[in-house]
C-alpha cells in the first residue's frame, strides 16, 4: 500500500487503527517442499498440455538470396520431464524447468531465382530451459492471488529435418530457419506460461473459501491477513481464523497470539489452529444462542431407570414434590459466558461454566422455576481430521455443582450429583459430540483431499499435518 492510500484510509480513525495494528493470524497454512513438489507435478502436467496447444504463425523471410516460407506449423508434443518449485525467501516461488523438449512439424517453400521447391519438415527442439517467478499476494476479499513476475525461456538445441527434393537447397537456409523458429518458440513459451498462471493457477488458488459457512448460525473467516510468505523451506499463509455468528458479528475481545509452527516437513501441508480460532468458535456459538440445551423426559434413556419428574426429588427435596406433585421436570442448560479453552502440549482443556435451571412443567404447560445450579468440570477434547474437516469429541471429568438459586428452599447439592452426572454424560455430551463429529471445514482449495493425518498440540495452538491429493475434474 502506498503512502497516499494509507493517508486516505487514515481519514477514518478506525480504519487507520486496523491498518497499523499488526494482525497475527488465528490460523496458519504451511506448504512444505513436499507439498510444493506435489503441486509442481500437478501444475507441470497442466502446463505441458497447454504448451502442446501452442500455435505458431506462418513465417516468411529471406536468408541471403533464398526466400523461404514456413506454414502449417504444428507442435506434436511438449515434454517437461524435469522441474522444481522452490520457495524464495520474501519473494515468492520459483519454477525451474530444464531439459524440456518438443517436436514440431510444418511445410516449407523456397524460392531462389528460378528454382522453386516445397516439402515438409520436422523440427526437434531440445534442452529447453524455462524459469518462472511467481508472485503471491492477496486481494481485497482476502483471497490469495498469484501472477508471473518473471519468465524466461531458452532453447539451446534445435534440429530441422526436411523432406522433399532439392536437398542441396536446405543447407542454404536451415540455419536461418532453426534460429527463426527457436526465437519464435522462446517468445511464445512465456506467453503460454503467463496465460496458464492467469487462467488455471490463479483461478485455482481463488477457490480458497475465505468465508466458510458452517451451519445456519455460524461461519469461519479464513481470509488472508497478509500475502502468503515464502521462507527458504516453506510457504506460509496467515489466515484470520475466526468464527463468527451469522446474525451478528461482533469484535472479538482478544487477539491471536503469535503462532510459531515447528519446522516439521514430512507432511505436504500443516495447519496451525490457534486457541484464538477455537475460542472465537465459543463466542460465535454463544452469541448465536446455540449453547442452550434443554433436557426433557423424552430424552432420558430407558436403561437409566428413572423418569424426569418431581417424584425423582422426593428423597432429597421433599418440599419440591409437595409444591408440584407428579409433574414433569425439565432442565435448561446454558453458558452464562462463552466457553474459553486453553491449548498446551498436553492437549486441549476447558473449564466451562454451565448453568442448569430446573423447571416443573405445570398442567397448563407453563414453567415453574425450581432451582438453578452452576456446573463446572474439566473438559478434555480429542481432535482429528476427517473429510477435510476438523472433528472432535469431548470428555468431562468430575462435575462440581453449586446451588445458585432455589424456589424450593435450600438442599444439599451432592444429593443430586449422580442425577446431574447422568444428564451430562448420557444426554448432553453424546449430543454435543454428535455435532462436533460433523466437524468444521478446513480452508482447502477445490478438489483437495487430505490423508496421512497428524495431530499434535503445542502451547496455544493445535498442529495438523496432512498429505494432499488433488482430485482431477472428471
Ligand atoms: C398456569 O397455572 C399456574 C398455577 O395453576 C398459574 O399460576 C398460571 O398463571 C397459569 N398460566 C397460564 C398461562 O394459564
Ligand atoms: C482440573 O484441571 C485442573 C487444572 O487444569 C487440575 O488442577 C485439576 O486437578 C483437574 N481436576 C480434575 C477433577 O480433573
Cα–Cα distances (Å) from 284 to 217, 249, 290, 334, 385, in that order, read: 8, 8, 9, 14, 21
Measured from the CB, is residue 378 less than 6 Å from ligand 2?
Answer: yes
Cα of 378 vs centre of ligand 2, distance in Å, is 6
For ligand 1, say whether the CB of 365 is within 6 Å of any of its atoms.
Answer: no
Ligand 1 pocket test, pick from 364, 365, 367, 407 with the greatest ligand atom count within 8 Å of Cβ, gives 364
Which residue has 462440581 as its cell numbers? 400
Summarised one tens digit per residue, pLDDT across range 313-326 is 888 898 998 999 99
Which domains does the chain possess? 2-18+32-205 (3.15.10.10), 211-462 (3.15.20.10)
d(CA 377, CA 30) in angstroms, rounded, equals: 35
pTM of the model: 0.89
What mean pLDDT is predicted for residues 104-132? 91
Please give the pLDDT value at position 19.
46
1: pLDDT confidence band, cut at 50, 70 and 90? very low
**In sequence order, what are the beta bridge partners of 406?**
371
Mean pLDDT of 36-63: 93
Residue owning the nearest CA to atom 6 of ligand 2: 378
Among the listed residues 62, 37, 280, 252, the one whose alpha carbon sits nearest the alpha carbon of residue 172? 62
pLDDT in tens, 371-405: 999 999 999 999 999 999 999 999 998 899 999 99
Average pLDDT over residues 442-459: 96
Q: Report pLDDT for 172.
A: 73
The percent of residues above 90 in pLDDT, for the chain, comes to 77
**Residue-wise pLDDT tens digits, 255-274:** 999 999 999 889 999 999 99
Measure the CA–CA gap between 208 and 221, rounded to whole angstroms: 11
- Least Cα distance to 252 among 271, 230, 278, 226 occurs for 278
- Cell match 496465460: residue? 195
Cα dihedral 247→252→257→262 (10° resolution): -10
Give nearest CA residue, ligand 1 atom 13.
366
- pLDDT tens digits, 397-436: 889 999 999 999 989 999 899 999 999 999 999 999 999 9
Answer whether 455's CB lies under 8 Å from 385's CB: yes
Amino acid at each position: 500500500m502506498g503512502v497516499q492510500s494509507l493517508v486516505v484510509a487514515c481519514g477514518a480513525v478506525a480504519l487507520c487503527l486496523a491498518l497499523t495494528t499488526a494482525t497475527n493470524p488465528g490460523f496458519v497454512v504451511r506448504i512444505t517442499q513436499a507439498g510444493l513438489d506435489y503441486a509442481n507435478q500437478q501444475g507441470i502436467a497442466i502446463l505441458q498440455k497447454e504448451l502442446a496447444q501452442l500455435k505458431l504463425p506462418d513465417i516468411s523471410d529471406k536468408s541471403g538470396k533464398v526466400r523461404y516460407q514456413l506454414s502449417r506449423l504444428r507442435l506434436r508434443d511438449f515434454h517437461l520431464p524435469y522441474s522444481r518449485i522452490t520457495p524464495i525467501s520474501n519473494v515468492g516461488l520459483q519454477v525451474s524447468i530444464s531439459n524440456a523438449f518438443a517436436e514440431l512439424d510444418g511445410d516449407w517453400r523456397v524460392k531462389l531465382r528460378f528454382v522453386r521447391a516445397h516439402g515438409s519438415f520436422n523440427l526437434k527442439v531440445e534442452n529447453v530451459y524455462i524459469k518462472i517467478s511467481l508472485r503471491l499476494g492477496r486481494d481485497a476479499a482476502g483471497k490469495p492471488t498469484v501472477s508471473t513476475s518473471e519468465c524466461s525461456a531458452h532453447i539451446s538445441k534445435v534440429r530441422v529435418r526436411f523432406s522433399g527434393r532439392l536437398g542441396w537447397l536446405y543447407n542454404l537456409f536451415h540455419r536461418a530457419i532453426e534460429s527463426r523458429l527457436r526465437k519464435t518458440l522462446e517468445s511464445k513459451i512465456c506467453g503460454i506460461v503467463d496465460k496458464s498462471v492467469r487462467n488455471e493457477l490463479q483461478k485455482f488458488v481463488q477457490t480458497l473459501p475465505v468465508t466458510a459457512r458452517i451451519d445456519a448460525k455460524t461461519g469461519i473467516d479464513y481470509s488472508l491477513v497478509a500475502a502468503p510468505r515464502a521462507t527458504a523451506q516453506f510457504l506460509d499463509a496467515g489466515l484470520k481464523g475466526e468464527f463468527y455468528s451469522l446474525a451478528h458479528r461482533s469484535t472479538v475481545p482478544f487477539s491471536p497470539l503469535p503462532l510459531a509452527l515447528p519446522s516439521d516437513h514430512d507432511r505436504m501441508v500443516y495447519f496451525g489452529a490457534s486457541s484464538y480460532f477455537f475460542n472465537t468458535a465459543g463466542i460465535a456459538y454463544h452469541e448465536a444462542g446455540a449453547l442452550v440445551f434443554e433436557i426433557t423426559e423424552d430424552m432420558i434413556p430407558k436403561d437409566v431407570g428413572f423418569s424426569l419428574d418431581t417424584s425423582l426429588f422426593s428423597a432429597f427435596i421433599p418440599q419440591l414434590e409437595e409444591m408440584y406433585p407428579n409433574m414433569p421436570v425439565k432442565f435448561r442448560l446454558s453458558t452464562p459466558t462463552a466457553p474459553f479453552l486453553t491449548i498446551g502440549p498436553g492437549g486441549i482443556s476447558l473449564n466451562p461454566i454451565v448453568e442448569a435451571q430446573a423447571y416443573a412443567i405445570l398442567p397448563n404447560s407453563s414453567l415453574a422455576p425450581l432451582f438453578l445450579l452452576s456446573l463446572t468440570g474439566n473438559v478434555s477434547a480429542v481432535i482429528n481430521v476427517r473429510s477435510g474437516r476438523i472433528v472432535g469429541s469431548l470428555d468431562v471429568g468430575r462435575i462440581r455443582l453449586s446451588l445458585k438459586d432455589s424456589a424450593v428452599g435450600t438442599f444439599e447439592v451432592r444429593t443430586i450429583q449422580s442425577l446431574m452426572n447422568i444428564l451430562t454424560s448420557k444426554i448432553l455430551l453424546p449430543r454435543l459430540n454428535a455435532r462436533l463429529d460433523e466437524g468444521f471445514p478446513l480452508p482447502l482449495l477445490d478438489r483437495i483431499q487430505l490423508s496421512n493425518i497428524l495431530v499434535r498440540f503445542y502451547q496455544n495452538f493445535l498442529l495438523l499435518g496432512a498429505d494432499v491429493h488433488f482430485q482431477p475434474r472428471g
